[in-house]
Amino acid sequence: MNVTVWNENVHEKTEPAVLEVHPHGLHETLKGIIQEIPEAKVRVATLDMPSAGLPQEVLDTTDVLVWWAHMAHEKVPDDVVDAVCKRVLAGMGLIVLHSGHYSKVLQRLLGTTCDLRWRDGAYERLFCIEPSHPIAEGIPPVIELGIDECYGERFDIPKPDDVIFSGWFDIGETFRSGCTWTRGYGKIFYFQPGHETNRSYYNPHVRRIIQNACKWACPKVYRGEFGAPEIRPTLEESRLGPETSAK
C-alpha cells in the first residue's frame, strides 16, 4: 500500500505554536501515524514542491492520498486538482482531514460547498456510531478527545455512504465528524479532528482511525483493471455470436 501524505505546509512556516505540536510539520506527524501500518510505504508531498508535490508519476503510484490543508486551498493548481480527482475516480483512496473540507479536491468530488458552522476550540467527545464499519475496528464507543476546533451542522455535503463518527462539543454543537463516500472506483473518508495547534493526532484512537481509513480506502481494483472502458462483447454476443444481437 503506497500512501502519499499531502500537506499545504503553510502554518508551519508562520506560526511557531504549530511547530510546538508538530515539530517537523503536520505531514511528518501524519506520516508517523501511517508508517505504523506494516504494509504501508509512506511519502510526503507539500504545496511548495514542483507540481504542488503531486506530479502524475506520484499520483500514478499512490494508492491512498491523505490531504491536510487550511489556508491555501486556492493555491492548489487546477491541473493538479483535475489529476487528483481523475485518479480518485479510477480507484485511488482519498482521506481528507479537518480543514481540508474546503479543498477544491473534496468540493469537486462531492459537488457541494462543504461549508460548515465554525467556532474556536471546544471540548470534543467523539461517538463511534457505526461500529461494524472497517474504519471503526478497535475503536471504543466514545473517545474523549479533548480540545479541538469546533465544527457544526449543517455540514453542506451530499448524503454520505456511512457516518461513522459523530462529534459532540461542550459549547452546544454536533457534527458528522467521520463520513464516507464512493466516487467512481475510489473511496473517500472525511475526518474532522486535527486543528493545527491541537493534539488530536497524538490520540491513540484517532491514530487508529486514520490507519483503518487508509486500509479501507486502499483500492482492491482500479478502473482500467476492471475492463472499462473498451468495447467488449455483451454476454449475449459471447454466447450466441455477434449477428444475434447486432440488430
The type of residue at 104 is: K
The 184-203 contact track toward Zn ion, x by CB under 5 A, reads: -----------x--------
Q: How far is the CB of 162 from Zn ion (least distance, A)?
A: 24
**Whose CB is nearest to Zn ion?**
195
Q: Which is nearer to Zn ion, 99 or 212 (CB)?
A: 99
- Per CB under 5 A, contacts with Zn ion among 61-100 are 99
53 in the Ramachandran plot: left (φ > 0), alpha (ψ -120 to 50) or beta? left
What SS3 string covers 145-182? Answer: EEEEEEEECCCCCCCCCEEEEEEEECCCEEEEEEEEEE
User: Could you give the CA distance from residue 142 to residue 8 in angstroms, rounded to a whole number?
Assistant: 31
Q: Which stretch binds Zn ion (CB under 5 A): 28-36, 144-152, 159-167, 205-213?
A: 144-152
Distance of CA 157 to the CA centre of its chain: 14
Nearest of 37, 22, 29 to residue 211 by alpha carbon: 37
Q: How far is the CB of 175 from Zn ion (least distance, A)?
A: 13
* Residue 124 near Zn ion by CB under 5 A: no
Q: How far is the CB of 151 from Zn ion (least distance, A)?
A: 9
> Which three cell numbers mark 107?
468540493
Q: How far is the CB of 72 from Zn ion (least distance, A)?
A: 13
Q: Which residues bind Zn ion (CB under 5 A)?
A: 99, 149, 195
